[in-house]
Structure 1
Amino acid sequence: MTTQIKAEFEIAGWDETPFQDGDEETKLTEALVETRYSGDVDG
């Protein structure tokens, strides 16, 4: 038996913070991403 749901999601927020300096090719960052889901599932 297979169960499927349909939902859409959107990127609601993006907060990027560098944690190691370097040139543009080696920059390391941490991104905190907030998403929202709607459809058969909300969250």
Structure 2
Amino acid sequence: MNSTDSGAGDLYEMMTYLLVIIFSAIIMVAWLKRRGKRKGRKDER
């Protein structure tokens, strides 16, 4: 049995999970910033 393969798979899965979480966090922050700017000041063009 190749245990190295399963280990690499686990690592890959964890990395993908982390990437997805970070990506969603960045998108959320950017979206909130855009919303805040639009809602905040109307005289700022």
- The TM-score with structure 2 as length reference comes to 0.21
User: Larger C-alpha radius of gyration, 1 or 2?
Assistant: 2
- Normalized per residue, which structure has more strand? 1
Structure with the greater relative contact order (CA < 8 A, sep ≥ 6): 1 or 2? Answer: 1
- Normalized per residue, which structure has more helix? 2
